Every structure is written in C-alpha cells, then in structure tokens.
Amino acid sequence: MKKNLTWIGLLVVLVFSFSMFAGCAEKKAVVKEGAAQDQQIASDQAAKEDAARLAREKAAREEADRLARERAEREAAERLAREKASKEQEAKVEAATVAADPLKDIYFDFDKSNIRPDAREVLKANADYILKNSAASIIVEGHCDERGTAEYNMALGQRRAQEAMKYLVNLGVKGSALKAISYGKERPIDPGHDEAAWAKNRRAHFAVKIK
C-alpha cells in the first residue's frame, strides 16, 4: 500500500513539474514573441519617421527652389524695369537737351583756337538758325581740357569763343546777338583723363537765350 502511494506521489510530482516547465516555456515564448513584436513596431515607427523626415526635407528644398526662382524672376523684372526707365529718362534728357541747345558744339585741336575745317559746316548751320531766330541771343562759351594752368586755359578758352563768334559774324550774324565767355577747364563735358575725353572738352558751346 505504501509502495503504491509512493509511486502515486512521484507521479503527481512529475506531472506538476512537467506542468510548471511547460508553463515557463510557454511564458518565455510569449515574452519573446512580444519583444519581437515591440521591436518590429519600433522599426516600423522609425521607418515612418524617416520617410516623414525625408518628405519634409524634400518639400523644404522644393519650396526653397520655388522661392529662389520667384526671387530671380522678380529681380530680373525689376532690373528690366529700371533699365527701361533709365533709357526713357535718357531719351527725355537728350530730347530736352536738343530742344534747349539747338546749336551744335565745335571742337579744337590741342592748344589751338583756329577754326577747323570740320567746324565750319557746323558754324554755317548754327548761323542759319540764329538768322532765322532773330529774337535769340547766343552766349559763345570757350572750353579747354584739363592740361595746363587755370589761367592759361581761361585765356585759351576766351580766344576759342572769340574765334567762333567772329566766324558767325562773317556769316552774317549780328555781333550784338553774340557774347563770348571763357570757362577754361572748369566745366569739362567728359571727366576722363585721356585723349578721348580731352578732345570732347576742347570745344566752343553755344547757349541759346530767347529774348
């Protein structure tokens, strides 16, 4: 009888131990499966965050490119508008200058006051205008380039103005309608410091005043 009880007890212990082992194994399996699921969820979440970040960066780049294009187009349009306005202003100034100074300048050689051949035709056209506009009075301005002293250029400018005035009188213009004045090198039309600028500054200018 005792022997049977002993075997029954051992059997109960074995069954209980097996149940405990199976339960622990099942628990470990569940834990492992849960950890794997958590890891997969975390990985999926990280992938979604990376995709969202890349999408935001792409959208930011596209927006920056769009703004850059718009800025470049706006600056180009503004530059064209400024250039157009500048050209229109230059045209207005040129038209006003022509209207204000219908007489053309004549030019002189370096350190000379004699009338050059190319200036004679200009003076003939100027004389025609003056003769047709008897109410006009003309100030003949003598100008020089920057070389030489102020005193020397003032005298040279006066000689140039007087020579131009004499030529106009010989063409029939009344001397009373003309007045000679020298500005020497004080009023250069070109501020440059080379022969091209100096050639422009050696001139006689005819300022018209209507009485």
Give the DSSP per-residue string, 126-137.
HHHHHHH-TTEE
Q: If we measure between CA atoms, which residue out of 163, 167, 199 comes closest to residue 180?
A: 163
Q: If we measure between CA atoms, which residue out of 125, 119, 159, 117 comes closest to residue 142?
A: 159
DSSP state of 175: G
Q: Indicate the SS3 state at residue 192.
A: coil
Total number of domains constituting the chain: 2
Q: Please report the pLDDT score of residue 182 as a whole number.
A: 97
49 and 13 housed in the same domain: yes
Q: Give pTM, 2 decimals.
A: 0.53
Q: Please report the pLDDT score of residue 88 as a whole number.
A: 65
- Domain termination residue (choose one: 45, 75, 100): 100
CATH of residue 198: 3.30.1330.60
Q: Please report the pLDDT score of residue 93 as a whole number.
A: 44
124 and 68 housed in the same domain: no
Q: Please report the pLDDT score of residue 96 as a whole number.
A: 46
- Amino acid residing at 149: T
Residue ranges making up the domain that contains 187: 103-210
pLDDT per residue as tens, the chain (211 positions): 555 556 666 666 666 666 665 555 555 555 567 777 778 888 888 888 888 888 999 999 999 999 999 888 889 888 878 877 766 665 454 444 445 578 999 999 999 999 999 999 999 999 999 999 988 899 999 999 999 999 999 999 999 999 999 999 999 999 999 999 999 999 999 999 999 999 999 999 999 987 6
Q: Record the tokens describing residue 117, joined without a space.
A: 């051949």
- Domain termination residue (choose one: 58, 81, 100): 100
Q: Please report the pLDDT score of residue 44 as a whole number.
A: 84
The DSSP string of 37-70 is: HHHHHHHHHHHHHHHHHHHHHHHHHHHHHHHHHH
73 and 111 housed in the same domain: no
15 and 84 housed in the same domain: yes
- Rounded Cα distance, 172 and 167, in Å: 9
